[in-house]
Structure 1
């Protein structure tokens, strides 16, 4: 038995997987985000731990015999978060999250202090990354900065509480701007540029390698026969890739989670930071990937549902499975700023073209289309980086909507495949990494493609209409940027 834990922004998910890679049971516990100031986004790491214990207790209650036989635990997690600890491993302040935009000025400072940043890390400095957050803390919270003994990413903090080890793996470490992504090692130049050193960083391992064992007292709590090995694990997107078997060059998927991602696996480190494309390590040894990332995806629909005072389920219930034509209004999904391709933490979203005829259904469709258009921006950025994508899987909470899947296929002009069990993909990928850490099997023998449902092909009758709509959408960001500035 193998267990995967996925620390997301809105919840912790746990999945128990057997030797045949069948899901035995799942559990989850909710999380909340704090926004204490404009552009700020934080969480209390102690809430992650309470949610983890809740999810694990639920798994143990649902499947006590199988839980007792767990041999490995894998971790997946939201990336980039700055979890700051003192010498006694006490949390110094709330974790600054991946979608926090406060450190825009510090990005400029970091690039000035480290001219080779883009070459070494494969990325442009953005506020979402971890390193600029530490420059912000140094400037605005110097007492906290001086007390920092260790800096951990969110899932590494869970690992610390589960095992007592300060360990991180390559895919998540690549999102800090402290990793030499080609060499798969911390960059001393990058750490020096942020007034830090290796002693404040966790030890690095590959995602499929062992990275400690569960504390004996926790193994007793869940009545495990022995303390399971804890694998290096993966950042959330890399874990999703493992669950999809996306470990070979050319494999691609779209994720419609809180944020949105277009992923492509690569055989080598292939940076193109000027297009705001992320080039990171994969969690599988000697493998890398490129990503286009938008900061708000399924969260846009959740926001609209809250504004309208209805649940997302209610909003979607009356929607058709396919669009008849593009919406008459445009939605720009920049509720938390944007990464690919604009690298603009201060831009904000908008509806454009509202009229008396705009009803609830029109607004829902326009939100879905706006997210799809933003992902088309990502596709064009990856193409400019030399990556060819001919088809992709689609995962994440937003992928449960037939209408959204259809709109996305039309806007990207790509066939998209539904995935069975995609709602636990990050946790399932983490469970696969746990198995690799225990068994030492070749990744290709374990990370098999999943069961696919329907493949949604672009509607040829709508191809020209959506292509024209996307060109109009592309004109809106410059106009919005001019107004915002």
Structure 2
């Protein structure tokens, strides 16, 4: 028997077909996410939901065509963003992605739309959250007249796969929209009304792993799962003893908590499928900062040599490892704040490079400084976690290409956290986690806390 997991990323869309008994990978298929839409506004980040759906449909058809014993399909993908659908379940708007910055536009009286809605409702909201995007669109009269509901792109695709005309969501996705009560696992409809969001436009919230329908060929489809939760499921062996560090486009530090603690602003609690919470510190920069540095070096090469050097990541990783080995504490190191793209609550924040000296003003030290800056942001999140929870961590798991492809960063992470670091066995952790969620939904696994099988064993 087999399971399919789909991950709708910002830049790529991946599908996996795995064995539901052994966890082995039968087939993987990835396609670029070419759904980005042009915009005249620098703060606007839009994608075409129909194009995304067609790409997912192609991947599912290709994977499903190889076997006749597929138990279920799970979906995950980029969170926070919203798309509007009509009564027939057709998209009537673009996908306003998590990167959309209209929530940071001025809303009067020195407030942004995000800060104003936060003040009105008492919820901590950031630009890119679906509730904030909807609030801006409602205030400015930009909601499509035919819109009957809004949902995430994962909910939209799951709805399409299941043959429904009304989206449903689970708590992992619903919480990512904002204005969601974590204690009751339901939308706060009075607060949503303040954002111009009537309850009738909100998707129904169902339990994670709920089978919501079936494909035209009869394969059960479970409701979409949040990408952070999916990555956690697809990566972590021991849920209650592990922290997960992810560096991809952004960066995240996540850990499971059975209870909902009081949290500082740096952290947020997200529902964990099956019960409990995933505590998360999420940065906007992460791998994007390292990409920015690589682009800078390539531009230097082009300007001074007239030659396109190609990708420099491998050489950068080698140089940073050399700098780490040769590090002399007496000389001090460059101090790089890599928050070049702001933070979730301070979009205006900029990065910086400090403590420059003749001894460290060299490319390899700059590369190492960027890596240390990325780690410093994760360490700041770690310090904000409850101390009792930190004490329970026996292992640090690493996921995302920013960690997977950079041995020097792996070593720095392990030494900085004081924990052994293990890298996820699967390149597409979120898609793998979505497949596991499908297995939980159709009864292959007993519960989400003990969902793992082969993926939690040593190779």
- Which bin holds the TM-score, normalised by the shorter protein? 0.7 to 0.9
> What is the CA–CA distance in structure 1 between the aligned matches of 2:157 and 2:9, rounded to whole Å?
12
SS at match of 1:65: coil
**Does structure 2 retain, via aligned residues, the 8 Å contact 1:250–1:388?**
no
Deviation sequence 1:174-198 (CA, Å, 0-9, x none): 1111321111122212221211222
Map of 2:305 onto structure 1: none
Once the two structures are overlaid, the 10-residue window that deviates more, 149-158 or 162-171, is 162-171
TM-score by length of 2: 0.84
Give the C-alpha shift of residue 52 in structure 1.
1.6
SS at match of 1:2: strand
> What is the CA–CA distance in structure 1 between the aligned matches of 2:343 and 2:458, rounded to whole Å?
31
Map of 2:433 onto structure 1: 429
> What is the CA–CA distance in structure 1 between the aligned matches of 2:341 and 2:226, rounded to whole Å?
20
The equivalent position to 1:270 in structure 2, one of 252, 261, 268, is: 261
Give the C-alpha shift of residue 344 in structure 1.
0.6
Map of 2:210 onto structure 1: 209
Map of 2:302 onto structure 1: none
**Does structure 1 retain, via aligned residues, the 8 Å contact 2:237–2:457?**
no
| Alpha-carbon distance change, 370 to 429 in structure 1, aligned in 2, over 3 angstroms | same
SS at match of 1:92: coil
User: Which structure 2 residues correspond to residues 233-252 of structure 1 after superposition, within 5 A?
Assistant: 233-245=224-236, 248-252=239-243
Give the C-alpha shift of residue 307 in structure 1.
3.3
Give the C-alpha shift of residue 18 in structure 1.
0.8
Once the two structures are overlaid, the 10-residue window that deviates more, 106-115 or 1-10, is 106-115
**Does structure 1 retain, via aligned residues, the 8 Å contact 2:83–2:96?**
yes
**Does structure 1 retain, via aligned residues, the 8 Å contact 2:125–2:178?**
yes
RMSD: 2.6
| Alpha-carbon distance change, 237 to 452 in structure 1, aligned in 2, over 3 angstroms | farther
SS at match of 2:102: coil
> What is the CA–CA distance in structure 1 between the aligned matches of 2:224 and 2:402, rounded to whole Å?
24
| Alpha-carbon distance change, 268 to 241 in structure 1, aligned in 2, over 3 angstroms | same
**Does structure 1 retain, via aligned residues, the 8 Å contact 2:5–2:73?**
yes
Give the C-alpha shift of residue 250 in structure 1.
4.3
SS at match of 2:176: coil
Give yes or no for the alignment of 1:53 onto 2:57. yes
TM-score by length of 1: 0.80
> What is the CA–CA distance in structure 2 between the aligned matches of 1:306 and 1:451, rounded to whole Å?
38
**Does structure 1 retain, via aligned residues, the 8 Å contact 2:257–2:279?**
yes
**Does structure 2 retain, via aligned residues, the 8 Å contact 1:150–1:200?**
yes
SS at match of 2:66: helix
> What is the CA–CA distance in structure 2 between the aligned matches of 1:198 and 1:387, rounded to whole Å?
38
Q: When the two structures are aligned, how many residues end up with a matched partner?
A: 425
SS at match of 2:319: coil
The equivalent position to 1:305 in structure 2, one of 294, 311, 315, is: 294
> What is the CA–CA distance in structure 1 between the aligned matches of 2:231 and 2:86, rounded to whole Å?
32
Map of 1:74 onto structure 2: 74
In structure 2, runs of 5+ residues without a counterpart are 105-111, 299-309
> What is the CA–CA distance in structure 1 between the aligned matches of 2:138 and 2:387, rounded to whole Å?
36
> What is the CA–CA distance in structure 2 between the aligned matches of 1:202 and 1:164, rounded to whole Å?
16
| Alpha-carbon distance change, 151 to 266 in structure 1, aligned in 2, over 3 angstroms | same
